[in-house]
Amino acid sequence: EPEVTQTPSHQVTQMGQEVILRCVPISNHLYFYWYRQILGQKVEFLVSFYNNEISEKSEIFDDQFSVERPDGSNFTLKIRSTKLEDSAMYFCASSGYLNEQFFGPGTRLTVL
């Protein structure tokens, strides 16, 4: 069964460093998303991406964040200068339809 994959599973970084979180969506899906979940809190929407551009972003998704689909398979989330409060679980999701999303296993980001 096709699935969304994410790498790395755990990323530890120093405050101020750049990180890139990688995702490989399901191959025939067209819509891609990033969510984050701070420990003990609800899952929050960050950004959605379709047709090589951002279709929507939340207020969390400020200038420190960017997304890219550099080739036909990967979908990346970049945080330019990480802050302590960026520590969270980051989930990638993809959708072939607008009403169902398949989530990857997540990347746990720890900012020290």
Partner 1 sequence: AQTVTQSQPEMSVQEAETVTLSCTYDTSESDYYLFWYKQPPSRQMILVIRQEAYKQQNATENRFSVNFQKAAKSFSLKISDSQLGDAAMYFCAYTRYNFNKFYFGSGTKLNVKP
- Tell me which residues touch partner 1 (CB under 8 A): 31, 33, 35, 37, 41-45, 48, 50, 55-56, 89, 91, 93, 95, 98-106, 108
Cis amide prior to 8 (ω within 30 degrees): yes
The SS3 of residue 10 is strand
- Taking the least distance from each CB to partner 1, the nearer of 13 and 105 is 105
Tell me whether residue 33 or residue 75 sits nearer to partner 1 (CB atom). 33
CB of 108 to partner 1, least distance (A): 8
Smallest gap from Cβ 74 to partner 1, in A, equals 20
Minimum gap (Å) between residue 17 Cβ and partner 1: 23
Helix (H, G, I), strand (E, B) or coil at 109: strand
Q: Do 18 and 82 touch, CB atoms closer than 8 A? A: yes
Q: Toward partner 1, which CB reaches closer, 17 or 55?
A: 55
| Order of strands across the sheet that contains 75-79 | 5-7, 19-24, 75-79, 65-68
